Amino acid sequence: METSVRAHIEAVKNGDVKVDEFIEEVLEKCEKIQSKYMPFITINKKAEATSQKGKLAGLPISVKDSICTEGIQTTAGSKILEGYIPPFDATSVIQTKREGGIIIGKTALDEFGFGTFSTNCAYGTPKNPNDPTRACGGSSGGAGCITAAADFPHIAIAQSTGGSITAPAAFTGTVGITPTYGRVSRYGLIDYANSMDKIGVIGKEVYDAALLLSVISGYDPLDSTSSEEKPENFTSYVGKDVKGMKFAIPKEYVSDTTDKKVVAGFMKGVEKLRSMGAIIEETSLPLTKYAVSSYYLIAIAEASTNLAKYCGLRYGLQQPIVGDFDTYFSKVRTAGFGNEAKRRILLGTYARMAGYRDAYYLKALKVRGKIIKEFKAEFKKYDALIAPSMPILPPKFTDIDKLTPTEVYNMDILTVASNMAGIPSLSFPIGKADGLPVGFQIMGDHFTEGKLIQIGSSLEAK
């Protein structure tokens, strides 16, 4: 069954694949992968072929469990939404089904996206197929896990707020595309931080990720933040060369805070690009040092607002109503939210309180504006910025347990700035160090996903 996405879709269209039998076999494989690596929260045992036509004809697609799927439990990785069955599909899921994609399950994530290693999921932690003692990255860890582990053609719909596609792609050795904010509709996405949330994709190859991004992109009247930018066939950029293109390496991204083995792997990718005729220089993004603190102030302030609706009345976790409303709400939220969600609710609420809003939240928004301008200035000079995807190799779970919350937050240093700015990025597996994947990150100006795919596919072909 080990075949490429492109070859599988072609075979389905030619009638060479009995899709019902194929999906049955895929679901059996998913059960075995689940018992070993735990990438899913829910496997869609009722998955069936809806069409043998379309751009994704007969292709298995997994969906991050923070994205609504009609008739399939959607929990956002939290006990407070256990048992919630959405009566509708997210726009990205509708578009996927329309093109013949088959939803095989909902993948694990940190609760509401709150994490860097997918260790904050209430339903189990996905394990890295490269080494099960190590993390897959977060928060789209399940998406990266099933993509790396599957021996069948598959693409994952994932989501990012501060690096939640880049991190698992880097740690699992897969290709992750985080699109421009607004490129893909957020309708049907369970919010983390509205001003930064983006639905994207993870695939085994650049072509795979480009294909699914082409399908789910486009304006959606149901999402006021979706862009009217014309959708593109991103697969048309695959195979184009990079000769004469100009890239820059931000020196802050290859500093002492980034593992030397990761930097060494990244530099191999740099040399590949040079050998293909690309021009590469060093640049500086001095506001990088403010990115993590600014990001978390904005993100947790928005998250605490979004989580206020989970009170045990409309959907999700409920308990017998005893006492007044405050007592009931507190009881449900105490039982339903995990430790990291509670931490972010408290910090976010504090940051929005009278007397602190100006000092923290609004100041962070001003820094964000300056970071956007800093990126924009660079893209006037360069086609793209390149850097390692993550500052470390996939860590062992035993090492993660020793980290403080602040140390975990600082792991996002190479991803939060681009997410705050709303620009697209692509993480590509450039090689391995100590047998573990090293991610190569490419960042571009708004709506230049095609250019990133061009660069990534050039590295893939080299």
Contact 340, 77 (CB under 8 A): no
Q: What are the angstrom distances between the C-alpha of 240 and each of 25, 236, 274? A: 36, 8, 15
Burial 312-332 (b: 16+ CB within 10 A, else e): beeebbeeeeeeeeeebeebb
Which are the contacts of 157, defined by CB distance < 8 A and separation ≥ 6? 61, 62, 63, 64, 67, 92, 93, 96, 143, 199, 200, 201, 212, 216
Catalytic one of 29, 64, 97, 127: 64
| Helix locations, 82-172, DSSP H | 91-98, 141-149, 166-172
Active site residue 64: yes
Q: Are the beta carbons of 135 and 395 closer than 8 angstroms?
A: yes
Please name which of 249, 275, 276 lies closest in space to residue 263, comparing C-alpha atoms: 249
User: For residue range 129-175, what is the model confidence (pLDDT) as tens digits?
Assistant: 999 999 999 999 999 999 999 999 999 999 999 999 999 999 999 99
- The single-letter code of the amino acid at 271 is E
How many CA atoms within 13 Å lie on the side-chain side of 264?
7
Place of tokens 């699992």: 172
What pLDDT score was predicted for residue 432? Answer: 97
Q: What is the pLDDT of residues 192-227, one digit of tens each?
A: 999 999 999 999 999 999 999 999 999 999 999 999
Percent of all residues in the chain with a pLDDT value above 90, rounded to a whole number:
93
At 398, is the secondary structure helix, strand, or coil? Answer: helix
List pLDDT tens digits, range 302-335.
Answer: 999 999 999 998 888 999 988 998 999 999 999 9
Q: How far apart are CA 198 and CA 158, in angstroms?
A: 9
Q: Are 170 and 437 in contact (CB under 8 A)?
A: yes
Q: For the chain, give me the number of helices (H) and strands (E)?
A: 15, 13
Kindly report, residue by residue over 367-396, the tens digit of the pLDDT.
Answer: 999 999 999 999 999 999 999 999 999 999
Please answer whether residues 136 and 110 qualify as being in contact, where contact means their C-beta atoms are separated by less than 8 angstroms.
Answer: no
Residues 242, 454: Cα–Cα separation, whole Å: 7
pLDDT at 51 over 80: no
d(CA 410, CA 21): 46
* Burial class, 7, CB count within 10 angstroms (exposed 0-12 / middle 13-18 / buried 19+): exposed
Tell me the pLDDT tens digit for each residue of 399-456: 999 999 999 999 999 999 999 999 999 999 999 999 999 999 999 999 999 999 999 9
What DSSP character marks residue 236?
G
Which one is catalytic: 118, 139, 214, 389?
139
Beta bridge mates, 58:
none
Confidence at residue 1, expressed as pLDDT on a 0 to 100 scale: 55
> Is 139 one of the catalytic residues?
yes
pLDDT band at 12 (very low <50, low <70, confident <90, very high): very high
Q: Are the beta carbons of 108 and 34 closer than 8 angstroms? A: no
Helix, strand, or coil (residue 171): helix
Residue 6 C-beta-side C-alpha neighbours within 13 Å: 10
What does CATH list as the number for 5-243+386-461?
A: 3.90.1300.10
Phi, psi of 197 (to 5 degrees): -60, 135
Work out the percent of the chain whose per-residue pLDDT is above 70.
Answer: 100
Q: What is the reported pLDDT for 353?
A: 87
Residue 231 DSSP label: P
> Is the Cβ–Cβ distance between 385 and 423 less than 8 Å?
no
Q: Which residues contact 239 (CB under 8 A, 6 or more apart)?
A: 457, 461
Output the average pLDDT for the chain.
96
User: Of residues 140, 164, 418, 458, which has the active-site annotation?
Assistant: 164
- pTM assigned to the model: 0.97
Query: Using CA atoms in the order 205, 209, 215, 218, what is the torsion angle rounded to 10 degrees?
Result: -150
Q: Where are the domains of the chain?
A: 5-243+386-461, 289-363
User: Which residues in 195-306 belong to E strands, given as ranges?
Assistant: 198-203, 246-250, 279-283
* pLDDT in the model for residue 2: 75
Counting beta carbons within 10 angstroms of the beta carbon of residue 33, is it exposed (0 to 12), middle (13 to 18) or buried (19 or more)? buried
pLDDT in tens, 332-353: 999 999 999 999 999 999 998 8
* Whether residue 98 has pLDDT greater than 80: yes
